[in-house]
């Protein structure tokens, strides 16, 4: 074999080796790409399916981890979720729950959506007003609580914003105690901290999870009922909850509940449809139960979350 032919054969052999290597690399890269896509698909399937809330957050406080997050850092109107903060600062102020307070015309002169069965002159204890504000989302009861805060309504709102800063609610802002204003805003992440703080207060836990409550208004007894149908369900163990609605906020729901022996905070904001927030809560519960059955520990890839003190 002459030298020129030998060099041609050698070059051709080298090209074959390089081509084979390139083919293997391409195949390996293809496997890697398909593997990543496969795991990405699994990750997508790991989220609760069919949620209709614009923003949602699920926090496993038992293991200090975030299980699901969607628009969790976006501040938006929170409607009557505000009342949890109102109750929290009233309790922080150490005001007596058995002190009688009068509902006045000022409490009834609120903006739209402020219908109430509490007529001016109604005399209820502070505990009664808080009970109605948390359980039945009674706007005039919440306003009366703020009006009778030490220093008045302005001092109450200032305390609400100070408490938000203390809890690390970095996107939260409050302008009044009822939630009727769309200027009361917070993110799901903020609200998870509020819920955890509220759950540490026995009175807030009790009042927010009651199914119905009766008070005397004038000469008759008036029965109020919860705005959250889940608290009366025997298959739910809810430790604290609050609903909310104004047109700008949509349907909202926050709660701390126990699912499969795990304490879980669920935040749902701007749910589409009257019953969707409750349906979303049920979807999240079924999702957790299914994953815990198939994969007890860990539930999913999670992110550590800071708890309130």
- 273 Ramachandran zone, left/alpha/beta (phi>0; psi -120 to 50): left
Q: Say what angle helices 126-135 and 82-92 make with each other, to 10 degrees.
A: 160
How are strands ordered across the β-sheet holding 250-259?
Answer: 238-246, 250-259, 262-271, 53-60, 65-70, 303-304
Catalytic residue, chosen from 53, 54, 69, 83, is: 83
Decide: 244 and 261 in contact? Cβ < 8 Å. Answer: no
State CA 260 to chain mean position distance.
Answer: 19
Residues 6+ apart with CB under 8 A from 59: 65, 66, 67, 192, 264, 265, 305
Residue 214's beta-bridge partner residues?
A: 223
Closest CA to 253 of 225, 281, 231: 281
Selected catalytic residue, list 80, 116, 189, 192:
80
The CA distance from 228 to 242, in Å, is 7
Given a contact cutoff of 8 angstroms between Cβ atoms, the answer to whether 209 and 232 are in contact is no
Per annotation, catalytic residue among 137, 181, 189, 192? 137
Largest Cα–Cα distance in the chain? 120
Which candidate, 117, 126, 119, places its Cα nearest to that of 105?
119
To the query of whether residue 137 is one of the catalytic residues in this protein, the response is: yes
Any catalytic annotation for residue 163?
no
What value does the CA radius of gyration of the chain take, rounded to a whole number of Å?
Answer: 28
Q: Which residues are catalytic?
A: 80, 83, 137
């Amino acid at each position: 074999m002459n030298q020129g032919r030998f060099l041609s054969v050698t070059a051709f052999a080298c090209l074959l080796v390089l081509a084979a290597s390139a083919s293997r690399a391409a195949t390996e890269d293809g496997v890697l790409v398909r593997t990543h896509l496969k795991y990405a698909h699994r990750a997508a399937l790991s989220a609760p399916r069919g949620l209709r809330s614009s923003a949602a957050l699920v926090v496993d406080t038992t293991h200090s981890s975030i299980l699901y997050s969607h628009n969790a850092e976006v501040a938006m109107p929170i409607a009557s979720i505000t009342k949890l903060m109102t109750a929290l600062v009233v309790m922080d102020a150490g005001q007596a729950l058995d002190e009688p307070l009068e509902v006045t015309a000022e409490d009834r002169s609120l903006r739209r959506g402020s219908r109430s069965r509490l007529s001016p002159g109604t005399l209820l204890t502070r505990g009664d007003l808080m009970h109605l504000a948390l359980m039945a989302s009674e706007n005039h009861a919440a306003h009366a609580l703020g009006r009778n805060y030490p220093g008045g309504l302005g001092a109450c709102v200032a305390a609400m914003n100070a408490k938000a800063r203390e809890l690390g609610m970095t996107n939260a802002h409050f302008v009044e105690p009822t939630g009727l204003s769309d200027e009361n805003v917070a993110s799901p992440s903020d609200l998870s901290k509020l819920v955890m703080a509220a759950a540490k207060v026995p009175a807030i836990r009790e009042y927010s999870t009651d199914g119905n409550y009766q008070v005397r208004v004038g000469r008759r007894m008036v029965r109020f009922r919860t705005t959250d149908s889940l608290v009366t369900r025997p298959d739910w163990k809810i430790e604290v909850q609050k609903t909310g609605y104004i047109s700008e906020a949509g349907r909202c729901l926050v709660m701390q509940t126990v699912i499969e022996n795990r304490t879980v905070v669920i935040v749902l904001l701007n749910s589409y449809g009257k019953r969707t927030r409750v349906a979303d809560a049920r979807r999240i519960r079924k999702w957790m139960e299914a994953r815990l059955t198939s994969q007890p520990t860990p539930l999913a890839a999670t992110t550590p979350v800071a708890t309130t003190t």
